[in-house]
Amino acid sequence: MKKRYYVAVGSGEILEDQGASSYNFEIDADEEDVFHLSELFDLIDTDSRLSLYRSHVPTNYHEDKNNHDYDDHLQQIYRMIHQLGTERTREHIESMGIL
């Protein structure tokens, strides 16, 4: 059974209560969808921390696996939000030109 959730991409939050915190997008999802999206947020958190450790070593961004993983996981998040999103959410993501 799908229900409405409110997603804050920057903080990786998936909220049931619209007034609990600020959010970027509205989605209609079931528990499995929310679990998968939450896993993706966990992955970009890990990618971000691993990139931070490596960031003190001079190298080219395009050769950094952690940065590639972060970008890939963030793309997956936006694709999933687009797929589950309300009409307004889908239009907003499309206007961002990130997919």
pLDDT in the model for residue 69 = 86
pLDDT in the model for residue 53 = 57
Could you list the pLDDT tens digit for every one of the 99 residues in the chain?
A: 999 999 999 999 999 999 889 999 999 999 999 999 999 999 998 887 776 655 556 655 556 677 788 889 999 999 999 999 999 999 999 999 988
Tell me if 10 sits within 8 A of 48, measured CB to CB: no
pLDDT in the model for residue 48 = 79
Residue 57, helix vs strand vs coil? coil
pLDDT in the model for residue 34 = 98
pLDDT in the model for residue 14 = 97
pLDDT in the model for residue 60 = 56
Q: Which residues contact 27 (CB under 8 A, 6 or more apart)?
A: 4, 5, 6, 7, 33, 81, 84, 85, 86, 89
